[in-house]
Amino acid sequence: MSDLEEIERIFSSLKSNENGEFDGHKQLYKNRPISKASQEERRRRLLTLQKEKRQQILNENRELGDKPDLKRKISDVWKQEIDFIQQQRNEREEWYRQTHRYNNTLMLSEWLLEIPDDFPEWIMVPCPIGQRNLLVSRMSCATSYNKHGSSINTFKCQLPRNTILDCIFCWKSKTFYVLDVLQWNGHCLRNCQTDFRFYWLTSKFEEYPELGLQSRRNEYAIKAINRSKCDKSTLAESMSRYPMFENNEPELDGLLFYHPEVFYTAGTTPLVGWLKSFMLPEVLSISVSDKYLAENPPSCNSVNDYIEWFNLNSKNKSKQKRHGRNKLLKIDTQQKEIDTDLSSEMNSELSCESIDDDSINENNSELNMDPATCNSITISSSPA
């Protein structure tokens, strides 16, 4: 087996299962490693595969100028472009009929258990407590979707049309905090590196300051999160302060660590790491505020203890959700059976009433005779 086939095999093993879930960690941005290979080895292989795909695209484009039938090639390219535009239009129309178009679109992280050599070049993003959302804008409105692609809410928004953002929604402050960008004003950024995507986000939110304010045309505030490099001094300075966000609004959930060259890819990737704030002293040897350390459950003495505790807790929550859904389904089925029985009883009562009405009408028809008939009956019945 060649190196490229081996890399593709490893890459395919990172995909989600048929239920759209990822083994080991059910949360959106906190998943345990799902491969036996080390995180550092998988990071290296993914970056190599990413570079090879980019080089392959460049080579295919170069071949256009090397052929003698260049005009025919260009004509074919234009035809393919027109066909592609038409295909995109058809796909957009199909989108309105699909309810799970954005299923498994979010890029998810793994626990950062192995520190890479180039970690100081990575980018740290503080993640607030909230619900992971995919925010999609169309015209003057936007729709938020959960990780399964189900629509949550549609509201007025001043985002440019055809924009897709990876966000955390905080109910308390009614604010979307933007983690990443997939598309902006129709420009796809999924195949752009992390550092460029973050630069794009920062510059665009400076151009649209009204996004961070609630108004009649912008029902929910949309704010970009400040990011920083992962060198030791910068992280130590950030984590020595409490709270992370002003007035502790929103509250800090944990820290995301992005490789600066990773594309935005759906599913779990070792090129995005996740740590809780109290894990930094053990994993990164960085001191943090005592208030962050107090968030660690008393029963967890190490990072591995917390991960096991967290996975068990997530598993129990999933069971409770399934039990709740089954209970609601059972209640709904019973209600349908009751409605069916009531409908049958009402139909039978209406049928009986209809029969009684027919009998009454027959009796009335017998009594309502002609006057001549009545006189003849009276005469014949009189005494001689």
Cis peptide preceding 250, ω within 30 of 0: yes
Q: Tell me if 70 is assigned to some domain.
A: yes
In which residue are the tokens 């649209």 written?
208
Residue 218's contacts (CB-CB under 8 Å, 6 or more residues apart) are: 156, 157, 158, 210, 211
Angle between helices 3-12 and 39-62 (to 10 degrees): 120
Q: Tell me if 202 is assigned to some domain.
A: no
pLDDT at 104: 86
Q: Higher confidence at residue 305 or residue 346?
A: 305
Share in percent of the chain as helix, strand, coil (round to 5): 50, 20, 35
pLDDT at 375: 45
What are the angstrom distances between the C-alpha of 78 and each of 60, 166, 262, 341?
Answer: 16, 33, 31, 64
Any idea how long the chain is? 384
pLDDT at 29: 47
Q: Tell me if 186 is assigned to some domain.
A: no
Q: Tell me if 371 is assigned to some domain.
A: no
- 289 has a pLDDT exceeding 80: yes
pLDDT at 107: 96
Q: Tell me if 231 is assigned to some domain.
A: no
pLDDT over 90 percentage in the chain? 48
Q: Tell me if 322 is assigned to some domain.
A: no
- 367 has a pLDDT exceeding 50: no
- 376 has a pLDDT exceeding 50: no
How many CB atoms are closer than 10 A to CB 224?
19
pLDDT interval class at 152 (50, 70, 90): very high
Q: Higher confidence at residue 223 or residue 362?
A: 223
Q: What is the mean pLDDT of the chain?
A: 79
| Counted domains in the chain | 1
> pLDDT digit string (tens) for 29-49?
455 555 556 888 888 888 888
In what side-by-side order are the strands of the sheet with 228-229? 107-111, 267-275, 252-258, 123-128, 228-229
Residue 232 to residue 283: CA distance in whole angstroms = 12
- 81 has a pLDDT exceeding 90: no
pLDDT at 335: 61
pLDDT at 66: 53
Give the domain range for residue 73. Answer: 37-83
pLDDT interval class at 88 (50, 70, 90): confident
Residue 203 to residue 71: CA distance in whole angstroms = 40
Q: Higher confidence at residue 246 or residue 274?
A: 274
What are the angstrom distances between the C-alpha of 106 and each of 16, 234, 364?
Answer: 12, 28, 76
pTM of the predicted protein model: 0.65
pLDDT interval class at 372 (50, 70, 90): very low
Task: Please report how many Cα atoms fall inside a 13 Å half-sphere around the Cα of residue 135, on the Cβ side.
Answer: 30
pLDDT interval class at 379 (50, 70, 90): very low
> pLDDT digit string (tens) for 231-257?
999 999 999 989 999 888 899 999 999
Residue 131 to residue 278: CA distance in whole angstroms = 21
> pLDDT digit string (tens) for 192-221?
999 999 999 999 999 999 999 999 999 999
Q: Tell me if 57 is assigned to some domain.
A: yes
> pLDDT digit string (tens) for 49-79?
888 888 787 777 665 555 555 556 666 667 7
Q: Tell me if 45 is assigned to some domain.
A: yes
pLDDT interval class at 84 (50, 70, 90): confident
* DSSP symbols for 100-155: -TTTT-SEEEEE--S--TTGGGSEEEEEESSEEEEEEEETTEEEEE-TT--EEEEE
